[in-house]
A and B are shown apart, each in its own frame.
Chain A
Amino acid sequence: MTTDMLSVKGGTKIFYRGTLDERRALDGLDVALKPGDFCIVIGSNGAGKSSFLNAVSGKLPLDSGRISIDGQDVTRLNAHRRAQFIARVFQDPMIGTAPTMTIGENMLLAELRGKPRSFSYGLTAARRARYSEQLAELNLGLEKRLDMQVGLLSGGQRQSLSLVMAVSTRPKLLLLDEHTAALDPRTAKLVMDTTVRAVEALQLTTLMVTHNMEHAIKYGNRIIMMDAGKVLVEIGQEEKNGITVADLVERFHTKSDAIALQGA
Chain B
Amino acid sequence: MDVFNSFYGLIPVTIAQSLIVSFVVLGVMLPFRILNFPDLTSEGAFPLGGCVCGTLITAGVNPFLACFVALLCGFAAGCTTAFIHLRFRINTLLAGILVMTMLYSINLRIMGRTNIPLFTYDTVFTILAGPSANFPWTKILIVGLLVALVLGAMLYFFMSEKGTAMRAVGASPDMAEAQGIDVGTATIIGVGVASALSATGGSIMVQTQGFADVNMGFGILINGLAALIIGEAITGRQTILRQVLAPVIGSLVYYQLISFCLTLGLAPADLKFATGAFVLLMLALPNLRRSGGGVQIREKIRE
Query: What residues make up the interface of A, taking CB atoms closer than 8 Å to B?
Result: 57, 59, 79-81, 83-84, 86-88, 90, 94-101, 105, 108-110, 112-115, 117-123, 149
A-B contact count (CB 8 A): 89
CB pair A118–B167 under 8 Å, yes or no, is: no
Q: Which of B163, B172, B178 contacts A99 (CB 8 A)?
A: B172
Q: Which of B164, B171, B174, B179 contacts A113 (CB 8 A)?
A: B179
Proximity string of chain B (152-188) to chain A, C-beta cutoff 8 Å, 1 when within and 0 when not: 0000110111111101100110111111111100000
CB pair B159–A121 under 8 Å, yes or no, is: yes
CB pair A122–B160 under 8 Å, yes or no, is: yes
Q: Which residues of B contact A117 (CB under 8 A)?
A: 161-162, 164-165
Question: Taking the complex as formed, is B120 at the interface, i.e. its CB lies under 8 A from any CB of chain A?
Answer: no
Name the CB-closest residue of A to B166: A117
CB pair B177–A80 under 8 Å, yes or no, is: yes
Q: Which of A79, A80, A83, A119 contacts B160 (CB 8 A)?
A: A119
CB pair B238–A149 under 8 Å, yes or no, is: yes
Q: Which residues of A contact B180 (CB under 8 A)?
A: 80-81, 83-84, 112-115
8 tightest Cβ-Cβ pairs between the two chains A and B: A83-B180, A98-B171, A114-B180, A117-B161, A113-B179, A98-B172, A113-B180, A100-B171
| Docked complex Cα distance between A223 and B168 (Å) | 35
CB pair B162–A96 under 8 Å, yes or no, is: no
Q: A80-B181, A98-B176, A117-B161 are in contact. List 16 more A-B contacts (CB 8 A).
A: A57-B178, A80-B177, A80-B183, A81-B180, A98-B167, A101-B167, A101-B168, A105-B168, A110-B179, A112-B165, A113-B179, A119-B162, A121-B156, A122-B159, A122-B163, A122-B164
Q: Which of A94, A97, A105, A149 contacts B164 (CB 8 A)?
A: A105
CB pair B179–A123 under 8 Å, yes or no, is: no
Q: Which residues of A contact B183 (CB under 8 A)?
A: 80
Contact flag A120-B160 (CB < 8 Å), given A80-B181, A83-B180, A95-B174: yes
Q: Can you list 24 contacts pairing A with B, beta carbon distance less than 8 Å?
A: A59-B177, A80-B177, A80-B183, A81-B180, A83-B180, A88-B178, A94-B172, A95-B175, A96-B175, A98-B167, A98-B171, A98-B176, A100-B171, A101-B167, A105-B164, A105-B167, A105-B168, A108-B164, A118-B162, A119-B157, A119-B162, A121-B160, A123-B159, A149-B238
- For the complex formed, measure the closest distance between the CB of A258 and the CB atoms of chain B, giving whole angstroms: 38
- For the complex formed, measure the closest distance between the CB of B66 and the CB atoms of chain A, giving whole angstroms: 28
- For the complex formed, measure the closest distance between the CB of A194 and the CB atoms of chain B, giving whole angstroms: 19
| Docked complex Cα distance between A121 and B159 (Å) | 6
| Docked complex Cα distance between A122 and B180 (Å) | 16
CB pair B171–A118 under 8 Å, yes or no, is: no
Q: Which residues of B contact A123 (CB under 8 A)?
A: 159
Contact flag A98-B178 (CB < 8 Å), given A112-B161, A122-B163, A149-B238: no
Q: Which of A59, A81, A83 contacts B179 (CB 8 A)?
A: A83
CB pair A98–B160 under 8 Å, yes or no, is: no
Proximity string of chain B (250-290) to chain A, C-beta cutoff 8 Å, 1 when within and 0 when not: 00000000000000000000000000000000000000000
Contact flag A90-B167 (CB < 8 Å), given A117-B161, A119-B157: no
Q: Which residues of B contact A113 (CB under 8 A)?
A: 178-180
Q: Which one of A99, A100, A101 has the greatest number of beta carbons of chain B within 10 Å?
A: A100
| Docked complex Cα distance between A84 and B177 (Å) | 11
CB pair B178–A83 under 8 Å, yes or no, is: yes
Q: Which residues of B contact A80 (CB under 8 A)?
A: 177, 180-183
Q: Which residues of B contact A108 (CB under 8 A)?
A: 161, 164
Q: Which residues of A contact B157 (CB under 8 A)?
A: 119
- For the complex formed, measure the closest distance between the CB of B243 and the CB atoms of chain A, giving whole angstroms: 10
Q: Which residues of B contact A114 (CB under 8 A)?
A: 179-180
- For the complex formed, measure the closest distance between the CB of A124 and the CB atoms of chain B, giving whole angstroms: 10
- For the complex formed, measure the closest distance between the CB of A148 and the CB atoms of chain B, giving whole angstroms: 10
CB pair A83–B177 under 8 Å, yes or no, is: yes
Name the CB-closest residue of B to A119: B160
| Docked complex Cα distance between A57 and B165 (Å) | 19
Chain B, range 80-109, C-beta contacts under 8 Å to A: none
Q: Which one of B167, B172, B175 has the greatest number of beta carbons of chain A within 10 Å?
A: B175
